[in-house]
Structure 1
Amino acid sequence: MTTQPLERQLLEDADQRALRYLDGTDCRRVFPSQAAIEALRGFDEPMPQEGRPANEVLRQLDELGSPATTASNGPRYFGFVIGATLPAAAAAERLLLAWDQCASSFDNSPAAHRIEQVAARWVLETLGLPRQCAVGFGTSATACTLAALSAARRSLLARQGWDFDADGLIGAPEIRVVVSETTHITVKKALRILGFGMRRLIVAPTDAQGRVDASRLPELDARTILCLQAGEVNTGEFDPFAELMPRAKAAGAWVHVDGAFGLWVRASSSSALAADVEQADSWTTDGHKWLNTPYDGAMAICRHADAMASAMNSDAAYATASRDAQKNLTLEFSRRARGIPIWAALAALGRDGLRSMIDRHLRQAAELAAGLRAAGFEVLNRPVLNQVLVRATSDAHTVAIREAAQRSGEVWFGPTLWQGRPAFRLSLSSWRTTDADVQQLVSLLAALRQASASPAS
């Protein structure tokens, strides 16, 4: 059976509209105009009683939606450590839509199962993590953190003789959680959903760069989950794994590392920044950040494969699968094959291409920091990774410059707070970002600083 003419015509129309959108990536406003945002009111209509032709639906989506998108798939988007999508990963995603696979197990999709197995192996090799690890391809770092921390708690309770699956948490030994002062909000969200009250978390003090201070690490024991970071979200710094890991192991604690973007430094020439991170028990990382894959492509990685498979198991009488079936490693039962765009990105880049891309971003971050210092800005961090944390001459001036840059449409980056005061952070993670784009950012910020008097704090 061949594709029906109307279906083919519709898909070809979608492809052409997508290509026109990509062709405008370099010249599009990085944040949409107010007029484009106001035009979104065109979607605010009652659901039609009778369906409209699919080509009209697509036209409305493109004509009203496309102008109001942020150009996060472009070269001058410096917010939230968001990478653009590599062509190979985007093409793989397009083919996956045609496949329309429920990628829960081998029985549902032999192709998805086998390709994701290879993707998992490549991820472990690329990141230098133990080869026996389980790798679950989930929707986000948040969902993957839920899976990893669920496995952690269940395992620690089992070591205490408690059957979590049968008896739940009522009456169970308490599991303590130690987090950094600068731990990411997604880790806190996962812990909150899992029932770890925020007031019961034990907070590890940090140094001036946001790293856990090993000299002030709270006491650890065999009922402790220690959450560390590979790439602090503002400074890009790494917790001192070489000091902390042996202490955690000696205490019998479980170590989880949030490596949403920083873990990818292990594939670069600066891999020493994350030395000893491989000693942890579990890790999370994203594909859509530094690997430049589409969204919904994150990974939960666990040294103890059986622990992850047992915690996430969703076998039923009508749907049993192997231990490494993705439905038994992630939160989702029915799922898309999120690991395939990750495989495509790694296959297209290769080890050398991935190293080159990350090395380029590290160099660009250092050059960006130097350029902003020369323009009179205060750079608050050591640009060891791909983050540059910046202030102007006062808090109000910092906010005014950031808002003016956003209004310009030439670039986009977001606000943050560092040590209680406003700042802005610039993230280098898009494969499309050239040295000329970085210089344009420096020139724009320097001009905005010169054009505006410093408001009072």
Structure 2
Amino acid sequence: MTAQPDEYREALDRARNHAFQWLESLATRPVAPQQNADEVAAHFRVPLQESAVDPAEVIDELAAFAEPGLMGMPSGRFFGWVIGGTLPAALASDWLVSAWDQNTGIRYATPATAAIEEAAEDWLLDLLGFDATSGVGFTTGATMANFVGLAAGRKKVLDDVGWDVQSDGLSGSPRITVLAGAESHASIDMALRYLGLGLPVPVAADHQGRIRVDALAEALDAASGPIILCLQAGNLHSGSFDPFREAIELAHARGAWVHVDGAFGLWAAASPAWASAVDGLQLADSWATDAHKTLNVPYDCGVAIVSDRALLRSAFGVHTDYLIHDAQGDPFERVPEFSRRARGIPVWAALRSLGRQGTIALVDGLARNARDLAHGLGALPGVEVLNEVVFTQVCLSFGTDERTRTVTRALIADGAVWMSGSRWQGREVLRISVSNWSTDATDVAASIDAVRRAMAAAD
């Protein structure tokens, strides 16, 4: 028997109320969680009861027990790691995705969600300036988006030397040399490990983490056999972009596949303001990004783009008797999963709500807030901005490594904002990542005040 709406109504109403309470609290609540995982677990890790509990009561309990352990990640004052917020249309559409409960793997079975994701694909390719014939897959995040692009690259470079990795695997195959800048992100290492390719050969980077073209030329000359080159759109610490045109032309001259990790920085291609910074980006063969970061859709939603749509389908496609295949291609042929939620729908909703100019304004606004933070914080006595603030990342030092760690701890204890510590080019840093659409001038000013208080507390 089909479930009746009333069976869901009260639980959904409670969830809606708790969601609004959470969103309304973000303006004034401390960003840091008020309980640690062990304290929260004391409420949840109890023996499973014998009898059923009313669904609405379950939701009330869930919200009440979880609330002290929630980080204010959707707050405009959250600058930790590279974690965006969620646009209203994207959040609401994600609720519908869960309610619709469509397994978006087969085009025939879920025509609505497949069609919406295809529309999102068209808009993404157009906004970012990629060829309309490229293939797009919606993955769990940027790590798996890197996996998809590199898997396509692995197949292509082995195809070129006559090795069928799909049938024969890697055992006995020609060794693939993977090159990456010395400051490439760990998600590249993870994806390569999943693919059985091992760690990349590091290529020297400059003082902003950009791959050095002269060092790349030497590395390419030293390599033999199939080659994959990994470049970066948005360095984790500096936000800088690799010199795409020169690097890609060098790599392609050697027959290499070029993949770009653009977890947050790929979105710069949508704005004319970064045309020179991303010059040549579109010459690469595959790209990865995370829509939760700069575009601000809910978790989880990575985006993998491969210039050769047929190659992408051949790398991930499977044909079985029980599946109904579509000649145009099915969503599961672009990602590692057969079964998945319709991750691309919040992307469609975000872009539909923003439009082209709104998307550009979102990207430009994040970068403007980063510059304003760098300017305001750099004016404080004893604060040094270590990077060229070219996009959305800011790295600060407070003199010695020990003082930088002390200020970072004091800032986290203060709770008004969240900025995470890191280590970059041999120095302890306070790293600021501006990723939330809702961050405004008030948040910037409050954040500068919070750092000032942390410095005073560290004295």
Spell out the pairing of 1:235-314 with structure 2 (5 A cutoff): 235-272=238-275, 273-314=277-318
Give how far 1:320 is off.
Answer: 3.8
- AA matched with 1:231: G
Is contact 2:83-2:293 (8 Å) kept?
yes
- AA matched with 1:233: L
The change in CA–CA distance for 1:147 and 1:410 in structure 2 (over 3 A counts) is same
1:132 partnered with 2:133: yes
1:420 maps to which residue?
Answer: 426
TM-score by length of structure 1 reads: 0.96
Supply the distance in 1 between the matched residues of 2:41 and 2:23 (Cα, whole angstroms).
Answer: 20
Spell out the pairing of 1:31-430 with structure 2 (5 A cutoff): 31-34=32-35, 38-198=39-199, 201-217=200-216, 218-219=219-220, 223-272=226-275, 273-322=277-326, 324-376=329-381, 377-430=383-436
Is contact 2:178-2:229 (8 Å) kept?
yes
Any idea what the Cα deviations from partners look like across 1:12-47, whole Å, max 9, x if unmatched? 111111111111111121011248972441111122
Spell out the pairing of 1:430-441 with structure 2 (5 A cutoff): 430-441=436-447
Is contact 2:210-2:242 (8 Å) kept?
yes
Q: Identity of counterpart residues, as a percentage?
A: 39
Give how far 1:67 is off.
Answer: 2.5
Give how far 1:425 is off.
Answer: 0.7
SS in 1 for 2:156: helix
- AA matched with 2:263: A
Give how far 1:104 is off.
Answer: 0.6
1:448 partnered with 2:454: yes
Supply the distance in 2 between the matched residues of 1:195 and 1:106 (Cα, whole angstroms).
Answer: 31
Supply the distance in 1 between the matched residues of 2:330 and 2:121 (Cα, whole angstroms).
Answer: 12
- AA matched with 1:443: D
SS in 2 for 1:300: strand
1:26 maps to which residue?
Answer: 27
Supply the distance in 2 between the matched residues of 1:269 and 1:443 (Cα, whole angstroms).
Answer: 33
Give how far 1:178 is off.
Answer: 0.4
Supply the distance in 2 between the matched residues of 1:449 and 1:256 (Cα, whole angstroms).
Answer: 41
Is contact 1:362-1:385 (8 Å) kept?
yes
TM-score by length of structure 2 reads: 0.95
Supply the distance in 2 between the matched residues of 1:35 and 1:187 (Cα, whole angstroms).
Answer: 30
Give how far 1:65 is off.
Answer: 0.5
Supply the distance in 2 between the matched residues of 1:87 and 1:175 (Cα, whole angstroms).
Answer: 44
Is contact 2:73-2:85 (8 Å) kept?
yes
Aligned length: 451
Any idea what the Cα deviations from partners look like across 1:136-158, whole Å, max 9, x if unmatched? 01111111211211111111111
Give how far 1:442 is off.
Answer: 1.0
Supply the distance in 2 between the matched residues of 1:212 and 1:253 (Cα, whole angstroms).
Answer: 16
Supply the distance in 1 between the matched residues of 2:172 and 2:243 (Cα, whole angstroms).
Answer: 35
- AA matched with 2:274: S
The change in CA–CA distance for 1:35 and 1:193 in structure 2 (over 3 A counts) is closer
Query: Which structure 1 residue ranges, 5 or more long, are not aligned?
Result: none
Supply the distance in 2 between the matched residues of 1:437 and 1:96 (Cα, whole angstroms).
Answer: 31
Give how far 1:271 is off.
Answer: 2.4
SS in 2 for 1:260: coil
Supply the distance in 1 between the matched residues of 2:210 and 2:92 (Cα, whole angstroms).
Answer: 39
Any idea what the Cα deviations from partners look like across 1:156-181, whole Å, max 9, x if unmatched? 11111111122111221111100111
Any idea what the Cα deviations from partners look like across 1:279-312, whole Å, max 9, x if unmatched? 0000001100000000111111000111110111
SS in 1 for 2:86: coil
Is contact 1:241-1:274 (8 Å) kept?
yes
The change in CA–CA distance for 1:178 and 1:2 in structure 2 (over 3 A counts) is closer
Is contact 2:127-2:356 (8 Å) kept?
yes
Runs of 4+ residues over 3 Å off in structure 1:
1-4, 34-37
Give the alignment's Cα RMSD to 1 decimal: 1.6
The change in CA–CA distance for 1:144 and 1:36 in structure 2 (over 3 A counts) is closer
The change in CA–CA distance for 1:408 and 1:117 in structure 2 (over 3 A counts) is same
Is contact 2:174-2:225 (8 Å) kept?
no
Give how far 1:368 is off.
Answer: 1.0
Query: Which structure 2 residue ranges, 5 or more long, are not aligned?
Result: none
Any idea what the Cα deviations from partners look like across 1:100-151, whole Å, max 9, x if unmatched? 1011122221101111111001000111111110000111111121121111
Is contact 1:40-1:68 (8 Å) kept?
no
Is contact 1:103-1:334 (8 Å) kept?
yes
Is contact 1:40-1:65 (8 Å) kept?
no
SS in 2 for 1:332: coil
Supply the distance in 2 between the matched residues of 1:451 and 1:49 (Cα, whole angstroms).
Answer: 51
Is contact 2:179-2:203 (8 Å) kept?
yes
Is contact 1:36-1:64 (8 Å) kept?
no
